[in-house]
Chains A and B, each alone.
Chain A
Amino acid sequence: MRCHQAQDLFSPYIDGFIGVRQKLRLEKHLRDCPDCRLELDQLSALSAGLQALPMMPLPEDFMLELRPKLLAALPEIITEKPLPRRNFTKFFQPLAAAAVIVFCFFSLLNDNYQAFFPKTSESEANSSSTFARINVILNETPVKAFDRSLPEVSNQTFYTKTADAGANMIDDYYENGPEEIEPEVIAFEERSTRGAHVDTIDDVLHDIVAGSEEISSEPPLTPAYGQTSEADNLSITPSPPAPQPMLTFWERAAKPLLFSLLSLAIIYLLAQGYWAWRRKTA
């Protein structure tokens, strides 16, 4: 070890923040180097001298002078007593509100997915074209998107994420579906899809699309499905779909507009939360 390397270690050594190995190397160097030994001694003495500086007494009126200032701070403390919680709330409220809104937004999105792709005019022109694209969601992962361009829609089972989504799908079908198609019954059941294998759902859908298999209304994996809810067996006997007036611009635009407003609200609230956090930690 050279002297300049040893010197770099003097302070850590004096302060006790030196690693074992470095300490041993330093001590070895010190045994052989009287100059470094001397310098270390001087630095140690200085450090000890600084630590030994006498305590200055407080001026006698220290607390007396301080008291009015504490009293002045007192109203602040009392009014701000819930301050830690208030900061907490102030920080998390916008976030919580944003979270609720994001949740609503995604429910909106899921349930009204087809609202963003209005195909009214298209379906009039081309009866076999898609009037809705419906994602079947299994545990929030889209497993398959398929076109409902089939003429045969009876006796088929569609799995949607929630009862509401299913009901909306039915409503939407009647509002916007191809006119030639008169389904006899659309039976709708809400089932838990947890535990169902992705492959199996995919197979089911494939079979539906190919029309090659008659699908019973029983879900293929009975044990995998959970309890049914009250929303089960929501059957709708259709009447021949009356000619539907085309949705006005505003009716169609309502949901995308709502979507935009929600997005802005989310951004605003997140920004508020962020700034509140910045102020808090500043």
Chain B
Amino acid sequence: MPLQEDELIQRAKQGNIEAFEELIGKYQQKIYNTAYRMVGNYHDALDISQEAIIRIYKSLGGFRGEAAFSTWIYHITANACRDELRRKYRHFEGSLDEWISDDEGNAVPREVADLSHSPEKALDEQEVALYLQTLINQLNPEYRMAMVMREQMNYSYQEIADILQISIGTVKSRISRARKILQEKILADGEHYVKVLRLSGNKEG
């Protein structure tokens, strides 16, 4: 299939929309999901993933095949997410708190994760997914991005550092802190922890 992809890329570069749609078809779900994990709600995720795909389309001329196409498009996706999150939460820039909290220091979910557009999976799985997403949504956007890039996009510390324009040390510490915070919250919440543990055990492999 790589050969076919190259040809699709060539045609898409010349402005052939059908070729582009076929090309991006393989990747669009992952683009959407990345956006969703980052921004935490359905509507914003749609907007951002569309924005990312349009950016990809516009930048096709600059793609010369030095990297794999998938690498390149996910990079653009990560950048689009980063830009949107930083735009949206610019008031929080520089904040050291991992949680976005209200005046009384209670963690406040900035984005309400909802189940209505989730897949038809076992309720347990849905519930855990929703719960984790809610926790992620409570994270400071900078921590959130580092987490999602690591866990969902499987980026290396270096790649995260490049995209977020921070040092590797900062990446490490943000991921460490974010994990610790999430874990403490899960433990405090009690029963969900068990489900998370069980769920990940089931998915081992």
Q: Name A residues whose Cβ lies closer than 8 Å to a Cβ of B.
A: 7-8, 10-12, 15, 17, 39, 42-43, 45-59, 62-63, 65-67, 69-71, 73-74, 76-78, 80-81, 83-84
In the complex, whether B85 has a CB less than 8 A from a CB of chain A is no
Contact of B91 with A by CB under 8 A: no
A7 to B177, CA, bound (A): 10
Cβ–Cβ contact A57 & B119, under 8 A: yes
Q: B57 contacts which of A42, A48, A51, A73 (Cβ < 8 Å)?
A: A73
Whether the Cβ atoms of A49 and B157 lie closer than 8 Å is no
B46 at the interface (CB under 8 A from A): yes
Task: Check B28–A48 contact: CB distance below 8 A.
Answer: no
Partner of A43 from the list B172, B179, B203 (CB cut-off 8 Å) is B179
Q: Given that A48-B200, A66-B50 are known contacts, is A77 also in contact with B129, CB under 8 Å in the complex?
A: no
Chain A residue, CB-CB nearest to B21: A63
Contact among A43, A59, A78 for B183, CB-based, below 8 A? A43
Contact B32 A46 (CB under 8 A): no
Contact A55 B61 (CB under 8 A): no
Q: 0/1 per residue, B143-159, Cβ < 8 Å to A?
A: 00001001110001100
Chain A to chain B: the 4 pairs with minimum beta-carbon distance, closest first: A48-B200, A50-B151, A52-B203, A11-B176
Contacting pair A46 B46 (CB below 8 A): no
Residue of B nearest to A82 (CB): B61
Q: Is the CB of A46 within 8 A of B182?
A: yes
Q: Does A56 contact B118, Cβ atoms closer than 8 Å? A: yes
Extra A-B contacts (8), CB below 8 Å, given A10-B179, A77-B15: A15-B175, A45-B201, A52-B199, A52-B203, A54-B129, A56-B32, A59-B117, A77-B60
Contact status A77-B200, CB under 8 Å: no
Q: Which A residue's beta carbon lies closest to that of B200?
A: A48
User: Is B112 an interface position by the 8 A CB rule?
Assistant: no
In angstroms, Cα B186 to Cα A211, docked, is 98
Complex CA–CA separation, A65 to B14 (angstroms): 22
